[in-house]
């Protein structure tokens, strides 16, 4: 059994990592939440982190500033958490030859494409969150630590704050919703992202000659819009909501948000599946698993 540290404790990915680590031959010896290790204060980050590093064989950075719209008005905080802190962790790991898995996002891309994004495609973020996450990729790579950077998209589970749980909450109150239908991507169940992360850190820890790289990790299955995803959620949830739900399809221009969203963020996951050896399940399978976690509040 190898020991890892996880940055993040209560987020969607952090919780899924804790639930699945043992099944992947990995023991989490430290998981930091914002109380233990506030990523906006670098001196705390280094002090807390250095305490547990000597016993660690690997690190997974699961924490991030994920409030995409708020990032537009909290640029410094988002940059500190998404770019500076991951670099600090990665530098400490590089000095001790400890491998790192870091999570990034489809939002590093512009959204202008007609085929799934490849890991080497040119990045061009269109919002602050995407810019800060791209800067985080750069700091982790610059550290020289052996690392796998996993870009993911549209993360959901059955208990966190996400699109699925929001849809199910709204379905208790309303029988119709208008949802954006001109943003196309692929959802990612947090449990499957955790398994992909664990498979990656496992390979890095067990194969010293494997240098990692940049990978795309979303659930497989058809590329869909948010409106399609809402339809799929309501179909799957049919027994749990009091009525049928009608989903109206609207353009993004009818749902203005502080941060612009990429129109097309489908990612090609094939290099991840080939190199890491984890076959990523479909988002439909992820939806079924997420429902097993969900309970009406």
Q: Which residues bind ligand NAP (CB under 6 A)?
A: 8-14, 33-34, 37-40, 62-66, 81, 103, 105, 133, 152-155, 160
Query: Which residue, 26 or 64, is less far from ligand NAP as judged by CB?
Result: 64
53, 31 Cβ separation under 8 angstroms: no
Q: Is 65 known to be catalytic?
A: no
d(CA 98, CA 60): 11
CB of 160 vs ligand NAP, minimal distance in Å: 5
Residue of closest CB approach to ligand NAP: 11
CB of 94 vs ligand NAP, minimal distance in Å: 20
The two structure tokens encoding residue 89: 């962790």
Longest dimension (CA), the chain: 57
Query: Which residue, 99 or 262, is less far from ligand NAP as judged by CB?
Result: 262
From 32, 129, 215, 278, the catalytic residue:
129
CB of 260 vs ligand NAP, minimal distance in Å: 15
Query: Which residue, 64 or 280, is less far from ligand NAP as judged by CB?
Result: 64
Query: Which residue, 99 or 238, is less far from ligand NAP as judged by CB?
Result: 99
The number of CA neighbours under 13 Å toward the Cβ of 191 is 19
CB of 8 vs ligand NAP, minimal distance in Å: 3
What is the per-residue burial (b if ≥16 Cβ within 10 Å, else e) of 9-21? bebbbbbbbbebb
The catalytic residue positions are 129
């Amino acid at each position: 059994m190898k020991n890892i540290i996880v940055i993040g404790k209560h987020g969607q990915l952090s919780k899924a990592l804790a639930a699945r680590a043992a099944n992947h031959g990995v023991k989490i010896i430290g998981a930091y939440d914002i109380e233990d290790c506030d990523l906006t204060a670098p001196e705390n980050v280094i002090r807390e982190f250095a305490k547990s590093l000597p016993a660690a064989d690997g690190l997974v950075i699961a924490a991030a500033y994920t409030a995409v719209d708020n990032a537009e008005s909290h640029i410094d905080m988002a940059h500190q958490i998404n770019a500076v802190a991951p670099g600090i962790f990665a530098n400490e790991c590089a000095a001790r030859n400890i491998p790192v898995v870091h999570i990034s996002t489809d939002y590093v891309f512009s959204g202008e494409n007609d085929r799934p994004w490849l890991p080497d495609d040119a990045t061009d973020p269109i919002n602050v969150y995407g810019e800060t996450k791209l800067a985080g990729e750069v700091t982790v790579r610059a550290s020289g630590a052996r690392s796998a950077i996993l870009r993911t998209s549209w993360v959901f589970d059955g208990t966190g704050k996400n699109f699925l749980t929001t849809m199910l909450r709204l379905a208790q109150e309303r029988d119709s919703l208008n949802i954006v239908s001109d943003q196309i991507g692929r959802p990612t169940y947090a449990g499957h992202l955790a398994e992909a992360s664990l498979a990656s850190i496992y390979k890095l820890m067990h194969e010293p000659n494997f240098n990692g790289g940049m990978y795309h990790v979303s659930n497989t299955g058809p590329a869909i819009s948010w409106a399609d995803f809402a339809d799929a959620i309501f179909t799957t949830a049919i027994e749990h909501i009091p009525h049928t739900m009608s989903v109206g399809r609207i353009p993004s221009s009818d749902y203005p948000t502080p941060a612009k969203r990429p129109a097309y963020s489908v990612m090609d996951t094939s290099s991840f599946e080939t190199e890491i050896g984890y076959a990523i399940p479909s988002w439909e399978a992820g939806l079924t698993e997420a429902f097993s976690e969900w309970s009406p509040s």
